[in-house]
Chains A and B, each alone.
Chain A
């Protein structure tokens, strides 16, 4: 479904991502794990068009995404939930969700699906996004992304700023989505959560893929355990 090959990307003079190749198949959940500053965000931004890749190819459903502006990539079905969420703070939950479906026009059924996943949002429908708690904003950000019925849901650090219990809840709902067959690509430094969710994972450090494999294998890998899970 998504195929990234030899991708270089970065800001200014320096490259934050070097020759990264990865792929996500339909229905799969894939995690990109690594520490802060490893290049995860740059990688996702380059895929969704917010940052123009320097070199390499990105294809989605066998169409090239390189050089396409972000709004057009979003319309092709790649939904991106940034770590900072980028909600519309002075708009209600309902308006935020409806804008998520902007190219398709708002759709009652899709709205119901989002409410099924996040019942809390139904109660907050007329609340302004900027006044909500971090956990609620996270739900809204994912909900808004789902409104466009994306082929691929990409999330950058969905646990940013969340208390541990809320972080687990966030991953629980991603688990539900995955169970429903949504294709997910998640970048995360909370490695245990991400590996529990994912089928496969890539380990990225200094902008390069260091390791890849089934999530279960990486969970058992002593290097990964030492570096990211705080276990000797």
Chain B
């Protein structure tokens, strides 16, 4: 009890136990476990509908992309607008390696994930080297995304061009539509969340926070900013690549449209920003909300895009920092008043 100068009464003692609980490992991973338990129950509710299960898997995939993006952008301040391309590297890499070289999925997925991670490392390294601002990292990676999509469209022999690629060989559990694949994606998502929390609590997370607050000050304090940014880029990109690869094998079909900016980067950015950039559960909450919203709006056809836009405007004009920080603030204010 080193922080004892405050008079200890019943209230403070209670506050102290909660503080200690908060510092404990269990408390740190509590949100991850709650997410796992709640989401594990989803198939019990909608398990008999293939359609809804498909939607749920898509939601998990977006949440997975979101965790990767959250680590890259939310923690190390690098605006990667090439999530679609990274996922595409995972997806196309794994499928093409599988079909052309006849390798099993357990080999192709790690290889393609390594490819995505390498790409992320290159982007991070180059932008650190050239001391690019957030916006410039965004534009460089955005330009790369467009290039990647064009390459996919152009290299017809390998990628099938705009018609896409049908993945013929058996993908095992991942490819078995319904509950089995749902739990695979859920396991991956929970592992991502746990990894993110682990990073936050380790010395890496401490460095991340320092460099996010003030890069220059972090550098002066002796933190190797370049190294940590590259670490962030690698970890996040690998996550995005893995989801891309898994999704390709699950869906059995990929095309350039699947990995377009508007189909990956923009929704993920919106979801994570909606939840609160940097918050652990932001990707989960954002993805859950927007998967539902998207489905509700489906009957409106093209008008849906406009409604989506209106929702975005209202949200970002209302809760600028995202829903989770806003809610935490509110909660804190309410508890303090009491």
A and B directly contacting (CB within 8 A): no
Q: Taking beta carbons and an 8 Å cutoff, which residues of A are in contact with B?
A: none
